[in-house]
Chains A and B, each alone.
Chain A
Amino acid sequence: MIQFRPLLETLLAGQFICPVSAPEHYKKLQDIAIREAIDDYLQPLNRRVASSDDESVYFLAYRDIDNNERDLLKQQLSVVMSSLLPLLEWLTYVQEVQGSDGALSAGDTLKLQELILKTEDNPSLRQRLQALATDKFFNSQADSVDAQARQIAKRLVEHGYLLQPHKERLYFQVTGKIDYLIELVRFIKDEENIPLSEEQVQEDLF
């Protein structure tokens, strides 16, 4: 097990492992034998390796679920839910700035400087970024577009949705955790029977 120590530490720290965030760990976890060995090792900690439906991300799940675990999972979900709207708003904001058709997904790159430049030139985007930045989740008190965008990116890196390969360079990679989030959104939509029309809704933002 000693050779898997970095991998185990990453998993136990509650992080998601995808081809972007940790390609080597991800490759190991694709091997079912390694996954089983890790599962055995984690058994006393009541944890096992879980994955999203398409196995694009791995993370740790509880093996047996009792009341204590249920409470913790509920807490965790409520944290995710409180960050859901700002995250989705951020995704639509980026999509609009980039003028692209699809929402960001794992592996996409994000050039912050480009986002900042385009936002500065557009009052409606500036307003959207401002509203996003002051949200509790992103929690920016800054006034400038530059500082707001940086703070948002920083928080997204902290939460594992983005990866910053070079500390001093403002370019980011989208991790598999975004895909997990979208999967969760789809799950919630189905579970709660949320009537989301198939057609694009008219954006009545501000």
Chain B
Amino acid sequence: MANDFSDKHHVGSLYEVGVERLALVGKHAKALMQGYLQGEVEQEALSEQAARKLIAARVLYQPDDSLGYKLRQPVTQLIAAMVTDENRRQINADVADKLTQIKARVESFREAQRGGDYVKAELQLQLIHETVHDLTGQFEEAIHSLWHRLNSNFGFVSSLADKIRENSRAQGQIQRLIAGLALVDFNELIEFAEGHAGLRKLLVTKLQVQLNGHHGSLLEVQKRLVELMGRFREQQARSLLVMNMASFLRQHPNFMVGDYSYRSQVPRLVNQAPAMPIAAAVSLDQRAQQPLVVSLVQQLYKELQLKASVQQATSNSEQVSVQQKDQEVEARQQQLKQDTEHFFLAALDSPTPCSALDYLVEQQLEWPPEAWLFQVIGEYNSLPRAQQQLFRFQREEAKAHVFNELMIIHDITLAYVAEPARQRSA
């Protein structure tokens, strides 16, 4: 196998094929992602040629002619890792195979060195680097996935029962990962690296630091997972307790609890003392407090008297005040109408268009501008049509907002038109 890789030409073509196939994946990203999410890529989503290329690249396969295409497992795994999809992401805890690979490559490296084939030795060294990197990367990936699941509270599954299942699956993974770490025998690795500083650094010093770190992280995640599991179970137990007790009480409407309070040792939870009223009254026996009492009584009297008189007054005057109020309102409305009419007359006399708001200010009228404009519009609309034509009625309005088509009237101008007929024909 090692000989294949030492062929420079082969490496070159590997490069080209790899680039071509990665580009192929990119080109069909949408169809592939749809396949990832729906379980298969529909036949119509890809041209026959594209499908053939993707199958040749071992990206897709077609289990049955009549069915759509499916993503091969490594592709699914790549996507799951890239989008941290914990539902699909898998953890690879296989350490033994990596260790065997390292051993084989170290042997191959030594052989090449002995034979004086430095190019091959260099290539093998590079491969050893990569394998070690894969080994530690595998743990990094697993730890990342575990933390992600932990921190999201297993949010990728919805029910508590599923969360509990996912949590115990994660705990199983951690156990396998820790068991995998234990397979790494540093004595053996020291032997491999015998007499080569670069190898020693790679296989012993660096790897040990990294794996120690991973071991620590795994233990931490494990601790947190166990804690979280405890919380999940407590939540589950609590909700079951509530539900089951409710259904028990429904089925046993005459259920009575024991006489807990008559036990020699009253249970802690049952011993809850009832409320004790906290009341106080004025004391008449202490001379020093008498002035205070007197003033309190006086004040109370005043309040009672006032209340009584107010009550009487309101009951008598209620009828009257309602009528009075009605009259007041009516008078104001009349006044507003009159003022508006005056404005129309002023517009008739004026040679230039008259602004309603300017008039309001000039005449020092007390109406709120909004009410005033409203009345002017009303007055105009209530004029007979012939009279309306005597005026050019113009609203100054603007949109309420760039995105709001509501028109807000800021002012109204009225102008007298001497010859309405001509204007109409124009």
Name A's B-contacting residues (CB within 8 A).
Answer: 9, 12-15, 45, 47, 50, 52-53, 59-62, 65, 69-77, 81, 84-85, 88-89, 91-92, 95, 101-103, 105, 180, 182-189, 191-192, 194, 196-201, 203-204
Residue in B closest to A76 when the chains form the complex, CB atoms: B274
Q: Do the beta carbons of B249 and A70 come within 8 Å of each other?
A: no
Q: Do the beta carbons of A188 and B239 come within 8 Å of each other?
A: no
Chain B residues with Cβ below 8 Å from A74 are 259, 261-262
Q: Do the beta carbons of B257 and A101 come within 8 Å of each other?
A: no
* Residue B267, interface by CB 8 Å: yes
Q: Do the beta carbons of B272 and A102 come within 8 Å of each other?
A: no
Question: Nearest-CB distance from B257 to chain A (Å)?
Answer: 6
* B254-279 contact mask (Cβ, 8 Å, vs A): 1 or 0: 00111111100011111111111010
What 4 additional pairs, Cβ within 8 angstroms, besides A70-B266, A88-B242?
Answer: A50-B272, A102-B235, A103-B241, A185-B242
Chain A residues with Cβ below 8 Å from B235 are 101-103
Residue in B closest to A71 when the chains form the complex, CB atoms: B261
Within 8 Å by CB of A60, from B160, B247, B268, B273, lies: B273
19 CB contacts below 8 A, A to B, read A53-B268, A59-B272, A61-B268, A69-B261, A70-B261, A70-B262, A74-B261, A77-B260, A81-B257, A84-B249, A85-B250, A88-B243, A91-B246, A102-B235, A102-B238, A102-B239, A187-B267, A189-B241, A196-B240
Q: Do the beta carbons of A85 and B276 come within 8 Å of each other?
A: no
What does DSSP make chain B's interface, helix, strand, loop or mixed?
Answer: helix
Q: Do the beta carbons of B242 and A73 come within 8 Å of each other?
A: no
Chain B residues with Cβ below 8 Å from A105 are 238
Chain B residues with Cβ below 8 Å from A59 are 272-273
Within 8 Å by CB of A62, from B163, B257, B271, lies: B271
Q: Do the beta carbons of A76 and B272 come within 8 Å of each other?
A: yes
Question: Nearest-CB distance from A91 to chain B (Å)?
Answer: 5
Within 8 Å by CB of B243, from A73, A189, A200, lies: A200
Question: Nearest-CB distance from A79 to chain B (Å)?
Answer: 10
Closest 4 CB pairs of A and B: A14-B275, A101-B160, A102-B235, A73-B261
Tell me, in angstroms, the Cα distance from A69 to B269 when the chains sit together: 15
Q: Do the beta carbons of B269 and A102 come within 8 Å of each other?
A: no
Contact flag A14-B247 (CB < 8 Å), given A101-B235, A103-B239 = no
Within 8 Å by CB of A183, from B243, B245, B269, lies: B269
Within 8 Å by CB of A189, from B245, B247, B273, lies: B245
Tell me, in angstroms, the Cα distance from A15 to B272 when the chains sit together: 10
Q: Would you list which residues of chain B between 255 and 306 have a CB under 8 Å from chain A? A: 256-262, 266-276, 278
Contact flag A186-B241 (CB < 8 Å), given A101-B236, A102-B235, A194-B248 = yes
Chain B residues with Cβ below 8 Å from A196 are 240-241, 244-245, 248
Q: Do the beta carbons of A101 and B239 come within 8 Å of each other?
A: yes
Within 8 Å by CB of B275, from A13, A50, A81, A182, lies: A13
Q: Do the beta carbons of A14 and B245 come within 8 Å of each other?
A: no
Tell me, in angstroms, the Cα distance from A70 to B267 when the chains sit together: 12
Question: Nearest-CB distance from B314 to chain A (Å)?
Answer: 28
Question: Nearest-CB distance from B160 to chain A (Å)?
Answer: 3
Chain A residues with Cβ below 8 Å from B238 are 102-103, 105, 182
Residue in B closest to A81 when the chains form the complex, CB atoms: B257
Interface-central residue, A13, A77, A95, A186, by most chain B CB under 10 Å = A77
Q: Do the beta carbons of A89 and B248 come within 8 Å of each other?
A: no
Tell me, in angstroms, the Cα distance from A69 to B271 when the chains sit together: 9
Tell me, in angstroms, the Cα distance from A84 to B256 when the chains sit together: 12
Question: Nearest-CB distance from A76 to chain B (Å)?
Answer: 6
* Residue B159, interface by CB 8 Å: yes
